[in-house]
Amino acid sequence: MKVIETIDDMRQLRLKLTEPVGFVPTMGYLHEGHLSLVRKARAVNQSVVVSIFVNPTQFGPREDFSQYPRNPERDLALLEKEKTDIVFTPSVAEMYPDQFDSWVEVGRLAQRLEGACRPGHFRGVTTVVAKLFNIIQPTGAYFGQKDAQQVVVIKKMVADLNMNVEVVAVPTVREPDGLAMSSRNTYLNPEQRRAATVLYQALSLAQKLWTQGETDAGKLRRQMVDLIRGEPLATIDYVSIANAETLDELDRVSPPALVSLAVRIGKTRLIDNGVLQ
């Protein structure tokens, strides 16, 4: 496994990789969710590249960029075990030199849900992913369904800008009690960690009611909101039931519908989602 820090070195090495090349972009502090993407990439490609880059442009001014957890040594050991060929770990200055001033922005799909709560977030995501695609030129890129809107937005960018990459979504990996794995779970103290299961409980409730025949999206949202309000440590940012492709909010559920939510537990903002099929 080679660890590469500069764009020039990455380009040089890329020329020698055997096709197809699978790529997994991450911000590090790896957990089983990230590793499931790497395993998927490993299973269907001859070469696997993983990037670790905490991308400053996708964090808002009052968000957790400087506190975001980092553990590069541990990450590299985990990636070595998964038979990663190349880990690309550029510095912020390497990716965003002083005069950097070009942006990739998806329209409507990036403005709702996470985009509405975190202005500029997706502009940062699509810009860095476009840069990484240009540098690494992967055959396929692997993203977690955990960040469902991110998958939709990146697929839109790839289609609209004719990028030659297959975007693959990989199922969410959860803790035994249902909490979606996330690097940010490390912010939770034991009491908050217990409270954080409310996200999965709300998703499970929506799934159960839908299976029982409830198609009124308003009723499903209300039931989810009521359940979350029963948890004193939780504050809702949004609870959404939307068309899984357009992200338009639904009155009547018609499958596939994306049920997604953002909830703050103390200062930690968690997101999760499920699909009603």
Q: Does residue number 179 form part of the binding site for ligand AMP (CB under 6 A)?
A: no
- Give the bridge partners for 122, in sequence order: none
When asked if residue 34 is in the footprint of ligand AMP (CB under 6 A), the reply is yes
Residue 181 within binding range of ligand AMP, rule CB under 6 A: yes
b/e per residue 61-97 (b: at least 16 CB within 10 A): eeeebeebeeeeeebbebbeebebbbbbbbeeeebbe
Contact of 93 with 136, CB cutoff 8 Å: no
- The residue (of 22 and 220) whose beta carbon lies closer to ligand AMP is 22
| Of the candidate residues 26, 47, 57, 268, the single one contacting ligand AMP (CB under 6 A) | 26
Quote the CA–CA distance of 218 and 74 in Å, as a whole number: 44
Which of 203, 253 has the CB closer to ligand AMP?
203
Rounded CA gap, 252 and 254, in Å?
6
Q: Does 36 bind ligand AMP (CB under 6 A)?
A: yes
Is residue 261 a contact residue for ligand AMP (CB under 6 A)? Answer: no
Q: What's the closest the beta carbon of residue 142 comes to ligand AMP, in angstroms? A: 7
User: Of 149, 146, 120, 8, whose CA–CA distance to 55 is shortest?
Assistant: 120
182 binds ligand AMP (CB under 6 A): yes
Q: How far apart are CA 128 and CA 122, in angstroms?
A: 10
Total number of residues binding ligand AMP (CB under 6 A)?
A: 17
* Residue of 34, 146, 221, 269 marked catalytic: 34
Contact criterion met (CB below 8 Å) for 231 and 196: no
Nearer to ligand AMP, 137 or 182 (CB): 182
Q: How far apart are CA 53 and CA 161, in angstroms?
A: 23
For the beta carbon of residue 277, count every other beta carbon within 10 angstroms: 10
Q: CB–CB of 102/131 below 8 Å?
A: no
From 129, 130, 136, 180, residue interacting with ligand AMP (rule: CB under 6 A): 180
When asked if residue 27 is in the footprint of ligand AMP (CB under 6 A), the reply is: yes
Decide whether 40 or 221 has the Cβ nearer to ligand AMP. 40
Q: Which of 22, 33, 124, 138 binds ligand AMP (CB under 6 A)?
A: 33
Binding ligand AMP by CB under 6 A: which of 84, 172, 240, 273?
Answer: 172
Q: Does residue 183 interact with ligand AMP by CB under 6 A?
A: yes
| Strand spans (E) along the chain | 2-4, 21-26, 47-52, 86-88, 140-144, 166-170, 234-243, 257-265, 268-276
Q: Which stretch binds ligand AMP (CB under 6 A): 33-41, 106-114, 155-163, 210-218?
A: 33-41
Tell me whether residue 34 is one of the annotated catalytic residues: yes
Binding site for ligand AMP (CB under 6 A): 26-27, 33-34, 36-37, 143-144, 146-147, 170, 172-173, 180-183
Active site residues: 34
